[in-house]
Copies of this chain bind each other. A is one copy, B any other.
Amino acid sequence: MHSNEYFMKLALQQAQQAYEHDEVPVGAVIVMQNQVIAKGYNQTELLHDVTAHAEIIALTAAFQFLNAKYLPDATLFVTIEPCLMCAGALFWSKIGHIVFGATDPKHGYSSQCKHRPFHPKTTLMSGVLADDSAQLMKHFFKSKRKNTTNL
């Protein structure tokens, strides 16, 4: 069995892909029976579509792969705390487990929801390789600000 850190590293690789495409660097993988069945990275700029978050792309890929709309036996690894939209999508998916890296005090679901928004059976873990995720985000926004200043 691979560790949570192993799969979070794969999610971080997805986030790195986003970074290299000048997208806010968030990445996700979905795992079942110790295997990655779906992955995604943020593509809101490329697709001109604010719904194209890493989690949504990975979820839709997982639904297609399994030909099923519920994922009770799957685990989502995502580098950053899901936003309200992604938390809502995860609720509907009835996903078995959610593992995320860094918290997102500004847009994370936990600062906005009255109660835990996931399906009652969904388990939740946070803080896995959180520093790596947070660093990637920090570098991204720092380079963005630098570019803006140079304009």
Q: In the complex the two chains form, is A63's CB within 8 Å of B47's CB?
A: yes
Which residues of chain B come closer than 8 Å to A68, judged between CB atoms?
Answer: 48
CA distance A4 to B122 in the complex (A): 39
- The 0/1 profile, CB within 8 Å of B marked 1, for residues 36-74 of chain A is 000000001101111100001001100110111110000
Interface locus among A78-86, A130-138, A140-148: A78-86
> How far, in whole Å, are A70 and B113 apart by their CA atoms in the complex?
24
Residues of A participating in the B interface, judged by any CB pair closer than 8 Å = 44-45, 47-51, 56, 59-60, 63-64, 66-70, 83-89, 91-93, 111-115, 117
The reply to whether B60 and A49 contact each other, CB–CB distance below 8 Å, is yes
**Could you say which residues of chain B place their CB within 8 Å of the CB of A63?**
47-50
Beta-carbon contact of B51 and A59 below 8 Å: yes
Residues of B within 8 A of A56 (CB): 51
Would you give the shortest CB distance from A117 to chain B, in whole angstroms?
6
Report the minimum CB–CB distance from A121 to chain B (whole Å). 15
